[in-house]
Amino acid sequence: MRHFIKMGGSALLAVALTACSPPAPMVKQASRALPPTVGTPAARYVHAEADRHQDESGFRLLMRSTNALMSRVALADHAQHSLDLQYYIFENDATGRLMAQRLLAAADRGVRVRLLVDDINASQAIDLFDALDTHPNIEVRLFNPFATRNPSLPSRATQFLLDTHRLNRRMHNKSFIADGNVAIVGGRNIGNAYFDAGNNTNFRDLDLIAIGPVVQQAEHAFDEYWNCDAAYPVKAFHGKHADHYDLAKLRVELAHDARAFAQSDYAQATLDELPGGASADRPGDWFWGPATLVADQPSKIDAGTDQPQLRIGPDIKVMTDAAQHELLLISPYFIPGDRGTAYLDALAKRGVTVKVLTNSLASSDEPMVYASYSRYRRPLLESGVQLYELQPASGASQTATSGGTSSGVSLHAKAIVVDRQKVFIGSMNMDDRSKLLNTEMGIIVDCPPLAAAVTEFFDTATLPEYAYRVTLKADGSAHGGAIQWQATDHGKPVSYDHEPGVSTGRRVEVQMFKLLPLESLL
C-alpha cells in the first residue's frame, strides 16, 4: 500500500472506474525441484562438507554488497541442472541485466531456470521477462499480478483502488537456489541499490549462503509458491509478447551490458576487494548448526482475517520468547504497534537487554513508516529499550555496513539475535505489513559463532559515528524529558533535539503523516 499512497489522488481521478480482476486462469504445468546434483565438483564439495556435519546446515554471512552480487553470479555460472529464483523486486538495471545474462547463459548450457517475481514492481522489466521466457529452458511467473500486462500509472492506481484487498498483499520472499545444493536467503532483492551499484542511496543488507538440509526446505518453499494459484506464467497476459527474434536481440544487448559492467569501476573494485575471499564458489569456513527455513504459506494473501498458522510470526515468537539475556532486532521498517511495544516492555522488565537498529528519518526511504514508528519511540525508551537509528552516512566511510561509493545508505537488513546463540535472517520486517499482508521467509539458525558475527554487525553499525542513539533527556521527571539523538561528528560528541539530517519540511511531513490512519496499511 505504501507504493500507492505516494501516487496521490490525481491519478485516480484521471481514470474512470472499471471492474478489475487478475488475468483469466490458464492451464499451467506444475513442476518440482530437481534432485540435488551429485556429480559436479561444486556438488562433491558441498556434500563432503555436509556429510561431516550430519543434520546441521552450513552458512556464510553476506554482509558486503559486492560479495552478495558475485556469489549469485558464481552460483549461476556453476549451475549444471537447475536455478530457482524468487524475488520481490528484479530490476531492469545494470545488476539485474547482469543476472539475466548469467541466467540466460546457464539456460543455454541446459540448466532449467524458474524465475518467480512479484508483480508490484515488474512493469519496468516486463519486456526482459517476456524475452527470457521464450527460451525453452526458462520459465518466468508473476505473483499476484495486475489485470493487465504493463498497466500505466493511472491504470495501476485504479486497479488498486478497486481490488485493494488482493493487490495490497505482496510476495516479499527472496531466495536463490542452485542445483538443489546451495541457497541464498535474506533481505536483498535484485537491483543496483541492493548491491552498492547505485548512484544515489544504496541499501545495507544481510543474506545467508546456505548448504545442507535447509536447502531442501528452501526448495520445498519455492515449489509451494511456484505452483500456487497466485503465480501466473508471464505469457498469461493479453498483449504483445516476445518471440525468438526478441530473445536474439536481448542476447546482444545483455552481452554488451555485461561487457560494460565488467569494465566498470565497480567491477574492478569488486575484484580488488575479493581476490581470493570465500564466496559461493570457493572453499572456506562455514558456520554450522541446526537450522529451519520458515516461510509464510502462499494462501496468506487470500486470508480475510489473520490466520497465524499461515505465517512465520509464531515461529519467530518462540525464538524471541526464549530470550534470557539479550535481544537484538534489526529492521528498516520498525512499527511495533501497541502489542509489540508491550511485548518488548515485558522482556525488558524481566531483565532482557533489548536493542533495536532501524532507519533514521534521514536514511529512511519510507517517511510514512518512520512517522508510524515514531509514535512508539517514547514508550519504548521508557521501557528501557535501546533505540539506534542508522545515519545516512557516505558509503565510503560506512565500513560497518559494507563500504560503497553512493551518496548515502539506508538500512534494509532484517535480522534477530537471541542471547548470542540463535539467529533469524530473512525478508521479514517488524511491522504489520510483514505480519499480515506480505508473504515472508527466512532462516532460523542455532549457532553461537553465526550469532556472534551478526552481533558484531549490529555493534559496529550502532557505533556513534554510524548511528544515532535515541534517548530521553534526564530532567528529573518520572518518565524522562524530551527525546534526543546522540552521535559523534569527527570524533566529537553531538546531540540533537529533533530528527537530524533532514529539513524542517521533512519533519513537518512526518508530523502530518502521524495524523493519518495509515499504520495498518504500511
Read off the pLDDT of residues 341-395 as tens digits, 9 standing for 90 and up. Answer: 999 999 999 999 999 999 999 999 899 999 999 999 999 999 999 999 999 974 4
Catalytic residues, by residue number, are 172, 174, 179, 412, 414, 419
Q: 386 - beta bridge partners? A: 355
Strand bridging mode 408-411 / 201-204: parallel
Distance CA 175, CA 186 (A): 7
Of 273, 303, 323, the domain-final residue: 273
* 298 & 265 share domain: no
Q: Residue 6: inside a domain, yes or no? A: no
Helices (H), 28-163: 41-51, 65-78, 94-108, 126-133, 153-162
Instruction: Say yes or no to pLDDT of 406 above 50.
Output: no
The reply to whether 516 and 416 lie within a common domain is yes
The residue type found at 204 is R
> Whole-model pTM?
0.92
Residue pair 393/409 in contact by the 8 Å Cβ criterion: yes
Looking at 218, 245, 273, the residue that finishes a domain is 273
In a domain, 15, yes or no: no
Q: How far is CA 233 from CA 117, 130, 183, in A?
A: 10, 10, 23
Domain shared by 232 and 375, yes or no: no
Q: How far is CA 62 from CA 108, 111, 366, 407, in A?
A: 28, 25, 25, 22
Between CA 227 and CA 143 the distance in angstroms is 11
Give the angle 475-480-481 at the CA atoms, nearest 5°: 65
Residue 180 has pLDDT above 60, yes or no: yes
Q: Which of 243, 273, 303 is the last residue of a domain?
A: 273
Question: Burial of 162 by CB count in 10 Å (0-12 exposed, 13-18 middle, 19+ buried)?
Answer: middle
pLDDT digits (tens, 9 = 90+) for 23-37: 666 678 999 999 999
468-469-475 Cα angle (round to 5): 125
pLDDT, position 393:
75
Distance of CA 403 to the CA centre of its chain: 19
The helix or strand, by DSSP H or E, that contains position 225, with its residue range, turns out to be helix 213-226
* Claim to verify: residue 389 and residue 445 sit in the same structural domain: yes
Q: What percent of the chain has pLDDT over 90?
A: 71
- Cβ contact 167:148 at 8 Å: no
Q: Is residue 458 part of a domain?
A: yes
Note whether 405 and 444 are same-domain residues. Answer: yes
CB 507 within 8 A of CB 495: no
pLDDT of residue 147: 86
> How many percent of the chain have pLDDT more than 70?
89
| Residue 65 zone, left/alpha/beta (φ > 0; ψ -120 to 50; rest) | alpha
CATH number of the domain where residue 192 is located: 3.30.870.10
Does residue 264 sit in the same domain as residue 337?
no
pLDDT digits (tens, 9 = 90+) for 273-331: 665 554 555 667 899 999 999 999 999 999 888 999 999 999 999 999 999 999 999 99
Does residue 112 contact residue 81 with C-beta atoms inside 8 Å? yes
Contact of 185 with 442, CB cutoff 8 Å:
yes
Does 346 reside within a domain? yes
Q: How far apart are CA 161 and CA 155, in angstroms?
A: 10
pLDDT of residue 8: 44
Q: Are residues 236 and 356 in the same domain?
A: no
How many Cα atoms occupy the beta-carbon half-sphere of 411 within 13 Å? Answer: 30
Identify the residue with better confidence: 479 or 190: 190
Could you tell me if 256 and 144 are in contact, meaning their C-beta atoms sit under 8 angstroms apart?
no
Q: Which residues of 456-465 are buried (b: 16+ CB within 10 A; e: fewer)?
A: ebbeebbebb
Per the domain annotation, does 22 fall within a domain?
no
Domain assignment present for 288:
no
Say yes or no to pLDDT of 396 above 50. no
pLDDT value of residue 15: 41
Compute CA 428 distance to the chain's CA centroid, rounded to the nearest angstrom: 8
CA angle 408, 414, 420 (to 5 degrees): 115
Q: What is the residue range of 456's domain? A: 293-521
pLDDT tens per residue across span 461-504? 999 999 999 999 986 555 568 999 999 998 999 999 999 999 99
Lowest mean pLDDT among 9-18, 57-66, 124-133: 9-18
Q: 4-24 burial, b for 16+ CB within 10 Å, e for fewer?
A: beeeeeebeeebeeeebebbe
Looking at every residue in the chain, the average pLDDT score rounds to 89
pLDDT tens for residues 236-285?
Answer: 876 677 887 799 999 999 999 999 988 888 887 777 766 555 455 566 78
Q: Are residues 262 and 323 in the same domain?
A: no
For residues 87 and 174, the answer to whether their CB atoms sit within 8 Å is yes
Q: Is residue 416 part of a domain?
A: yes
Q: Does residue 514 surpass a pLDDT of 70?
A: yes
The span from the CA of 160 to the CA of 169, in Å, is 11
Question: Do 491 and 352 fall within a single domain?
Answer: yes
Q: What is the pLDDT of residue 238?
A: 66
Q: What is the Cα–Cα distance from 86 to 84, expressed in whole angstroms?
A: 7
At 136, phi and psi to the nearest 5? -65, -20
Indicate whether 72 and 170 sit together in one domain: yes
- Residue 273's pLDDT is what? 66
Q: Are 123 and 98 in contact (CB under 8 A)?
A: no
Same domain, 153 and 240: yes
Q: How many domains does the chain have?
A: 2
Tell me what the mean pLDDT of segment 428-441 comes to.
95
Residues 305 and 229 in one domain: no
Q: Which residues pair with 87 in a beta bridge?
A: 117
Please, which residues have CB within 8 angstroms of residue 453's CB and are 6 or more apart in sequence? 61, 287
Domain membership of residue 38 (yes or no) is no
Residue 188: pLDDT band by 50, 70, 90 thresholds?
Answer: very high
